[in-house]
Each structure stands twice: as C-alpha cells, then as structure tokens.
Structure 1
Amino acid sequence: MKKVLFLIHDLGQGGAEKVLINLVNHLDLARFDVTVMSLFGGGINEQFLKPEIKYLTVFKKMVPGNTKLMKMLSPNQLHKCFIREKYDIEISYLEGPAARIISGCKDDTTKLVSWIHVEQHTMKQLSASFRSAKEASECYGRFDMTVCVSKCVRDDFCEILDYKKPCRVLYNTVESEMIVRKSIEKVNIFSDYKVFRIVAVGTLKAIKGYERLFEVVKKLTLESYSIHLYVLGIGPEKKKLENYIKENELEKVISLLGYDTNPYKFVKNCDLFVCSSYAEGFSTSATEALIVGTPVCTVEVSGMKEMLGENNEYGIVTENNEEALYQGIKRLLDNPDLLAHYKKQAEIRGRMFNTENTVKAVEEMLLSL
C-alpha cells in the first residue's frame, strides 16, 4: 500500500479545494493510505472529506502575512516543521507555498508530485511565494512529476521554467453521479415569471470578472432583454458588487445568492452558465454545468477550448473581453435554436467528465512513480 500525503493551503470554497476532496474521496483505499494536510484549518470543504481520509492541519486558522513569514525559513526547514511522518508520495496540491514546503523533502525514497492549477504567465507570478525566481526554479526541479489540470496550464508552466522533467495533464475529478442527483432538487427562489436565467459560480474576487459580467447584464437589460443573473459564491468583492448592483438599480436583475453546498440545482434550472474570469485553471464550475446539461458561454481562459472544442462544438468561447462576452450571450438570447443545440451538446460533453475515469488516471500515475 502506498502512503500518500496531499498538502494544500486550505480547504476553503475554491475549485481546487473542492476537486481535491472529490479525488481523495474516490481513491482506492485498499491501495492508498491517504492523508490530506492543509496549512490552515477552518475551510468550508473540510466537512466533505470521508472519515476514512486522515486530515491534519498545521494551523487552526489563517495566519495574516503567512507567505512572508514562511519565506523566513528554507523549504527544508519548513518541511521538517510541518511534515512529521514518512510518506511514499508527497503531493503539493497547489502552486506556491505548498510546493515550496514539499520540495524541502530530503528523503530520496519519497516521490514528490507538484499539482499546478492555473496559468501563471510570468516568472514573477510563478515565484511570488518563493524567495526568488532562482529558488522557485530549484524547488520545482526537485519534483519527480508535475501534474497540470489542462494543456494550457502545462504549456504555460513548462515555458516559464523551460521545464524538462516529467509533466503531464490530468483533468479534475468531479463527482458526476452526485452532481446529477443533487441537481434535481427543487429551487424555491425562482419565480414562474418567464425570464432568461443566467448563472455564474465562483469566489467573489476580482479575477472572476464579475463586474464586467454585471456591465454586460446591465447593457442587455437596457436593450429590453428579460434576463436575470444569479451568482453563487462568497468572497472579498461582495460589498463592492452589492454597491454596483444598488448604484445601477439592478436589484431586480442580479441576485447574489452566497455560498451553497448544492450549486447544481441552481445551474440545472438556469438557461445559461457564464464564466467571465480573467484567468482560470480548468473550471470546475463550467465542468459541472456541462454535467447537468446547462449550455456554457465563456471568455477564453485556460482549458475552455479543451472543454468546449476549438470551434465551439460544445459551447461558446469568446475572446477574453467584455464586448466579446456581451456578443456571445446576446447571440444565444437571439437564437433559441442555437441555445437548444448547445444544451444537447452540453449533455454529450458532460459524459467526458466521468468520476471513475479521472480517478483511475490519477491512481495509475501514482503507482507508476
């Protein structure tokens, strides 16, 4: 049996955190002795870990300025402080601090895996959690395997570091059967009034591009389209977005629903899922929309063309700007037949993200190390 450690910053509401829970809950525990460790406890996704999975935290809650504090110690010193047991495989399940800590392992018999979730574009961004670009390059060079969640993320990572060590793409694990089952629950907040329902899911932070999505919704409303945007998520931009809605008198057009453990029932009962992000890794929320058969319109971010096709076969991918997103949504509003077509295509593409297949690929990777 392989003894495996997954280290992550925290188990908050983010996509990577959710995907990690999905993955470890479905690993074959007859072959893998699994421990999940988060640097900081209190994350909302902790409750979904199966009891069979060992869970450890370094600190009970978030420590302000933790990245700067951790830079005071070397990767080896951090590893000695935080990782007290011997593991066959140690996995950094996010770029940054977790990768720096795991890279400090000095046991040659332990295999090290780095899991990269987002495009980082520049060495400055990639090395932000390290003391320097040189240290970042050295740390990532210590890993036996690097896993990326999409081809775009892999190409970006390898180009920045001129990376020559093993690096492969493994798609995120989603609980497809559970998603479908929970999506049929009733949604009480939706009125019977005929309105085109748009949904967006994700942390309320600037990188998600909600303000420009609100601008698109405002423009369409002024053009007399009967639409309503529902946003699921919590985060630091909440007050700013609430102010935008109030200042633009959009209270009857945009609803911030907060965090819900079952976003699938909302997505299932909406006409269109929209992603307005400036950057993504491989969008878990968009994947879930396909699984429940909701058409997707998204700006081009990492992984979307892999998910929806180079030529918009399974959904609409626009250029990553406000005007292009506006035109993409408007096109679907004006063409009910096209929307119906993409609903069918979403159902087809959703079958690609079968839980069993994605977990099997990870297990094979771990056993091959």
Structure 2
Amino acid sequence: MKVNLIFFLARFGLGGAGNSIFRLCTSLDKKKYKINIICLNKCAYEHKFRKNKIRVYKIKSNRTLYSMFKLKKLVKKISKNHKDTIFISNINYTNILCALFIEKKPNLKLIAIERTPFQELEIYFDTIDFIKKNIIKILICFFYNKFDKIICNSRYISNYLRKKYNFKSTTIHPPSLIYNKKKQILNKYKFDGRTLNISSICRLSKEKAIHDILYALNYLKQKEINLNIIGDGPEKENLINLTKKLNLNKNVKFYGYKNEIFSILKKTHLYINSSYFEGFPNSVVEAAISGIPIISSQSHGGINEILMNGKFGTIYGKGYLDLASKIKKFYQNPKIFYQKAILARKNVMKFSLLNHKKNFEKMLDNI
C-alpha cells in the first residue's frame, strides 16, 4: 500500500518553499507515494500538480490560524483508510499551529520543515512583529517535541536549533538545481572595467533589503552601474519610489516575476543577495552555477554552505555601507571575485533535485 503524504504550505506561491515542494512532489515515485497538497485559497502550481496526478486541496481562509479547524478535519479525511500517513508542515509559525491542532495517531506521523533561519525571530519591523515573534520563540520550546522528525534546509539552521532549543533535526538541502545543459551555460560576459551589470532575484519584501542595494549604488555615485531587480512583492512600489528619489531611474530596471532567469543571469557580472535572513537562497545557487561572482549579506542560513563562509563568494555585514565597499572592491579588482566564482560553481553541484529526492525518500523510509 502506498504511503500517504500530505504537504501543507499556507501560502503556496512561486517562491522558494513553493518551488522546492513542487520539484520534490513531482519527482517522487508515484507508485510508492500518494501525494496531497493543502494550502490556503490558491496554489501557484495547481495546474502542474494536477497534470502529475497530485491532489490539491484549498482551504478558504486569509489567516493560517483561522484555517486550523478546517485543516484538522481535512487531514482526518485524507488519512482515513490509510495505514501510513505522513503530514509535513512548513515554516515555524505554521509548524507550531500544526503541532497544536493536528493530533498524532498510530497511522499519522508529523514532520516539521524549517526553511528560514531562527534569527528571523530576532529581527522586528514593528511592535506587533516583536510580540508575535517572541510568542513563537516560547511556543517552539514547548511544542516542537511533538514532531516525529524536524527537517532543516541547511546545517546552519540545524545547528542553531540544537544549540538554542536543544532539538535534534536532519539537514536536507533544497532541490535548487534541475540539471539542464541548455540552461546551465557558464556566464561568458566578464566585467571589462566599463559598465557593471548587477542582478538580484527575490520576493520584494522588507526582509530582502533590496533598499540596501539602492542606497549602496547611490553612495558609490557610479554612473556605469546597472541593477536588474527580478521579482514581485509588497515592497515593489516603495522600491520604485526610492529609486526615483535617489535619481537611479536610468540605472535600475524592475523586471517583475520571471519564470526563466538565465537570459538575464548570462549578462550579469555580479550577483547580490541582500536579505536580512534567508533559508537557502535558490537564486544564489543559480547564479553560482552560471559562474557569476556573488556578494551576499550574512543571512544566517544556507548562504554559509553555498559560499563556504566566504571562501567561494563575498559575505558582508549588515548595512549598505559595507555592501558599497564590497561592490567597489569588485569594481577595482574583479579577478579575485571570479576565482571564488569558479569554486562556488563546483560546490553547488551537490544541491540538486536528484540528491534532494534521494535524501528525502531515505528520511521517509526511516521515520
């Protein structure tokens, strides 16, 4: 009999978590697993899931908390008449709610996946955010022991969970790469000392700190720098207005969300990741596999494994002034950055869908 898998991701968008779950679910052996997806309101991959004979359940609710009773009822329905069901939740706030509301049974195992660093809970954008995150930290201590298994997407997050909360976990790196020879062509557009093309790909939200890149460019006052921003999100209008305010209109281009990014990456000289916190930035891996030099913030997650703590790329501290100094160093001596990029490309080969699938199935078999 097939193992019944239930993946719950409240906001199932095109971002890192949604993309990782989609890649995993469509690669798992359908003869071995029956796969179900639960999300709130809409799923960006619904059509593709259905083409792969994966059932998608959508709960009508604008808040994860308010969806819990419906989720509990739905999980009970899906797991009925199945000998083995594994329920998989994602990200700390949702994990806590699932630990509170989803009842463990002999035929129902619970797995929590942590995709963002716990340092996220130490960064506050307002008073409500401060209160919410401190409540989450307390609840983690009391309820994470309910899970049969905790999965972290980087060793950095796994180590932090053990040291801070004394919980053991398993590290499974995300499926950042799907090998495709046509896509994975080395970037041949090396910086020649003239116009510098910089790219950054992410959801445009506060924690991604794209404004730091804009302030860094404004500080440098270099007319020969172009910035490509790929992605959408709640901060887009604010970032566009900031670009105008800093008189960077001619230097900055907003592309919105793009499904295919390699056409932009192949003309990129330097990739910047400016996030305050980041679980495992797939876009950085995609930049690395393209041979692009990388400057990244210390975002406390997988970036340390992707760039080997700065050996395979350049990691800066918090703030646009430090970022500006790193961009200036690239401008003055790009050779060192390209030498690191060669090492980064070799390193990220292991973050593949094939390895992720193999490690995930091994974990499921041993739970």
TM-score (normalised: structure 2): 0.85
- Alignment counterpart, residue 274 of structure 1, candidates 269, 272, 275: 272
Which 5+ residue runs of structure 2 have no aligned equivalent? Answer: 186-193
After TM superposition, list the pairs within 5 Å mapping 1:303-318 onto structure 2. 303-310=302-309, 312-318=310-316
Aligned match of 1:169: 171
**Which deviates further from its counterpart, 108-117 or 50-59?**
50-59
Aligned match of 1:146: 150
In structure 2, distance between residues paired with 1:25 and 1:176 = 12
Change in Cα spacing, 1:334 to 1:35, as seen in structure 2 (3 Å) is same
- Count residues with an aligned counterpart: 349
Which 5+ residue runs of structure 1 have no aligned equivalent? Answer: 185-193
Change in Cα spacing, 1:176 to 1:318, as seen in structure 2 (3 Å) is same
Change in Cα spacing, 1:173 to 1:50, as seen in structure 2 (3 Å) is farther
* Kept in 1: contact 2:38–2:59 (CA 8 A): no
Change in Cα spacing, 1:366 to 1:94, as seen in structure 2 (3 Å) is same
SS in 2 for 1:156: helix
In structure 1, distance between residues paired with 2:363 and 2:161 = 19
Change in Cα spacing, 1:202 to 1:46, as seen in structure 2 (3 Å) is farther
Cα offsets for 1:265-316 (capped at 9, x unmatched): 2123211110011111111111111122222110111221211113x22111
SS in 1 for 2:39: strand
What is the RMSD computed on CA atoms of the aligned residues?
A: 2.9
TM-score (normalised: structure 1): 0.85
* Kept in 1: contact 2:99–2:144 (CA 8 A): no
Amino acid at match of 1:247: K
After TM superposition, list the pairs within 5 Å mapping 1:339-358 onto structure 2. 339-358=337-356
- Alignment counterpart, residue 91 of structure 1, candidates 83, 88, 92: 88
Kindly indicate whether residue 198 of structure 2 is the aligned counterpart of residue 235 of structure 1: no
Change in Cα spacing, 1:89 to 1:171, as seen in structure 2 (3 Å) is same
SS in 1 for 2:358: helix
Aligned match of 1:69: 66
Aligned match of 1:187: none
**Which deviates further from its counterpart, 139-148 or 114-123?**
114-123
Aligned match of 1:181: 182
Aligned match of 2:190: none
* Kept in 1: contact 2:59–2:71 (CA 8 A): no
Change in Cα spacing, 1:68 to 1:244, as seen in structure 2 (3 Å) is same
Shift of 1:204: 0.6
Shift of 1:159: 3.8
Cα offsets for 1:172-209 (capped at 9, x unmatched): 0124214x53466xxxxxxxxx6211110111111001
Shift of 1:148: 0.5
Amino acid at match of 1:55: R
SS in 1 for 2:260: coil
In structure 2, distance between residues paired with 1:177 and 1:210 = 29
